[in-house]
Amino acid sequence: LGTMRGDIDMCDGSPSWYADLVPYPEIGVLEAAYVFKSLDHLYYVVNGPIGKAYWDELRKKSGLVVLDTWFLGTRELNLTKKAGVVRTPEDLKGVKLRMPGSEAWMDVGRGLGAQPTPLGFNEVYMALKTGTIDGQDNPLPTDFSSKFYEVTHYIVLTDHQMTIINPTINEKVWESMPEDYKVYMKKALLIGRNYCNRLVLEQEASLLAKFQNEFGMEIIIPDKAAFMENVKKMYVKNDDIWGKGVYEKIQNASAEVYEAE
């Protein structure tokens, strides 16, 4: 909101934030569960014609200019012993799963089969420790840095959502910059993106063994197809928000490797 008002020049945004705060609910589909099949697919969409249409409309509605998209990791279920072993959406019935407070995030929790429980991120550790919630979902690097391994027992590799952030600037500030400054900023953001993405992928590759061997956590391979089907059925109701067939259109967009300029 501060960037929209011009109180600050830049911020890190995301589609779910734009959906709620602008408001621009249609863009929330870019953070829907299982909408992207791979990192290449994600970049093909957000940096291609589909993404451009969303970013252009966001700029018209809010005066926010999205400059890039950075990958923060793939979200997995992270559950306490109380939640038990989870392999299908049915196993999550009644499980209190922490979700960020937006309706789009609550939909993710429902689609996975859980009882979504809105809670601020800073409250998650203590809520897991006291049993107020039975689990949370985040990328593995976040689970590690937040020490959730101290208060949970299971990691369920649902791979249900690819988390992104968008470096975003106020339109008036952007238009006031000389053209060569804009070029330099975009190049710097591309370097930052490549560095961030590499770190995340390296951490994701190494952390499972660490969680299992050092912290005694149990890693579960679930029936991912069952989760995908459950989510898809739940998202039918969002056709009125996102547009009929938009979720499937993005899922089926070509996953060819995105070539950065």
Domain containing residue 119: 2-239
pLDDT (0 to 100) of residue 104: 82
Structure tokens at 141: 């690097």
- Is 249 a domain residue? no
What are the pLDDT digits (tens) for 4-52? 999 999 999 999 999 999 999 999 999 999 999 999 999 999 999 999 9
- Is 96 a domain residue? yes
Give 89-96's long-range contacts (Cβ < 8 A, gap of 24+).
89/113, 89/226, 89/227, 89/230, 95/134, 95/135, 96/132, 96/133, 96/134, 96/135
Matching residue, tokens 């809010």? 62
Collapsing DSSP to helix, strand or coil, 93 comes out as: coil
What are the pLDDT digits (tens) for 94-145? 999 999 988 888 999 999 999 999 999 999 999 999 999 999 999 999 999 9
Collapsing DSSP to helix, strand or coil, 47 comes out as: coil
pLDDT (0 to 100) of residue 103: 82
What are the pLDDT digits (tens) for 52-93? 999 999 999 999 999 999 999 999 999 999 999 999 999 999
The CATH number of the domain where 207 resides is what?
3.40.190.170
Counting the structural domains of the chain, the total is: 1
- Is 91 a domain residue? yes
Over pLDDT 90: what percentage of the chain? 93
- Is 252 a domain residue? no
- Is 181 a domain residue? yes
- Is 39 a domain residue? yes
- For the CA atoms of the chain, what is the radius of gyration? 19
- Is 251 a domain residue? no
Structure tokens at 247: 């979720």
- Is 109 a domain residue? yes
Q: Are strands 218-220 and 154-170 parallel, antiparallel or unpaired?
A: parallel
Tell me the CB-side half-sphere exposure of residue 71, using CA atoms within 13 A. 25
Residue 244 phi, psi dihedral angles, 5° rounding: -60, 125
What is the pTM for the complete model shown? 0.92
pLDDT (0 to 100) of residue 258: 43
